[in-house]
Chain A
């Protein structure tokens, strides 16, 4: 496979796609694309071994599937308790929301805010933004591509912070394990919640932000002139 360090690109060509190049998703290496194969398999990156694609495969369908799966799991994640706390005989089950309410009720609103943001707000925000991005790509929207790309980058970076609640449960069940005196047991809600976090992370990874910009380019002719 021919790698490209520097080629003379015609001034009308702006993107790697239009210049018949493939850009490795991990290491940025540019490889010359066989002109006969416009879609499909391009083999692996000669430098790092990553599978090469013109665009992430089935990006739209995959992102939709993962968004919908995450939405479905979001319901049990919020309805089923995540922990059962036994303390001196009294038994109490907690969902994600009841944990937030507990912190507000006891006046620890900064912690309530952290939990609410990480566990409830961020997953919903991610699903909304991703749905918006996918719909906008499907409708060939040309609306503020730079801001939409920025939205995508935000979704990509904040996703991992939703794991906070899973780690809190991990620490609680490890620490509070003193029989009848005090005990915390994990409940299945935390599995659904972890699934939501994972699915939204995969959904963000499956979406290809370059699709936002592809609208700018008609198949054969490129109207965009690269900044100089």
Chain B
């Protein structure tokens, strides 16, 4: 009885009495099949390590050109931010903001907030507002669109390949690595375990 606790399903509101979930196992709603909770091994350490890697990759990916375009001896190397700036100059500030938010601000915030929450948990200390900020990590999830951006990069390369020579640049490899690191980071995160710590703080 001590290890059991109640969870209401997010999708259908059914109450479940969930006991301690063994590592690597998941609990699903018996009525609608939604994921209730998942238990992951070394979640805090792994997520923290991957978040740190993600932070470096994100900075690198945005500091160097990611694609080059070469036509008749003229070439141009661009950063992700170049396109955003072009939207802004063309009189589309809201579009610029949307792209900036989904490809840079949201992933960056997600990583930083995640580190702010996980580091104290790892060290066993308390930082102010940890749990309130963790809520934002979860809410930012659907707005961080690095992997969608990567598909956009692939489509652009194919689209321009006939017109000119496309040169993949340093930051493109950072982007690719970043997608895997971010996906692994979110996959190793166990929100349930973090929320559970609330009582002890």
Given known pairs A171-B153, A198-B98, the reply for A25 and B10 (CB within 8 Å) is yes
- Contact yes or no, A17 B13, CB < 8 A: yes
B195–chain A nearest beta-carbon distance, Å: 5
Given known pairs A23-B13, A149-B11, the reply for A114 and B78 (CB within 8 Å) is no
Q: Which of A26-34, A35-43, A61-69, A73-81 contacts B (4 or more CB under 8 A)?
A: A26-34
Chain A 169-228 interface residues, beta-carbon cutoff 8 Å to B: 170-178, 181-182, 185-186, 188, 190-191, 194, 198, 201, 205, 209-210, 212-214, 224, 226-227
Which A residues lie at the B interface, using CB under 8 A?
A: 4-7, 9, 13-17, 19, 21, 23, 25-30, 47-50, 87, 99, 103, 106, 108, 111, 114-115, 118, 145-146, 149-150, 152-153, 156, 159-161, 163-168, 170-178, 181-182, 185-186, 188, 190-191, 194, 198, 201, 205, 209-210, 212-214, 224, 226-227
Complex interface: chain A residues within 8 A of B138 (CB): 26-27
- Does B108 make an interface contact (CB < 8 A)? no
- Contact yes or no, B153 A16, CB < 8 A: no
Q: Give per-residue flags for B111-155: 1 if the beta carbon is below 8 A from chain A beta carbons, else 0.
A: 000000000000000000001101100110010010011011101
- Does B76 make an interface contact (CB < 8 A)? yes
- Contact yes or no, A48 B6, CB < 8 A: no
What is the bound-complex CA distance between A227 and B4, given in angstroms?
16
Chain B 160-194 interface residues, beta-carbon cutoff 8 Å to A: 160, 162-164, 166, 191-192
- Contact yes or no, B155 A114, CB < 8 A: yes
Complex interface: chain B residues within 8 A of A115 (CB): 155
Which B residues lie at the A interface, using CB under 8 A?
A: 1, 4-8, 10-17, 30-34, 37, 67, 69, 71-72, 74, 76, 78-80, 82-84, 86-87, 90, 92, 94-95, 98-99, 102-103, 131-132, 134-135, 138-139, 142, 145, 148-149, 151-153, 155-156, 158-160, 162-164, 166, 191-192, 195, 198
Question: Looking at the complex, which one of B86, B139, B195 makes contact with A177 (CB distance below 8 Å)?
Answer: B86
- Contact yes or no, A146 B152, CB < 8 A: no
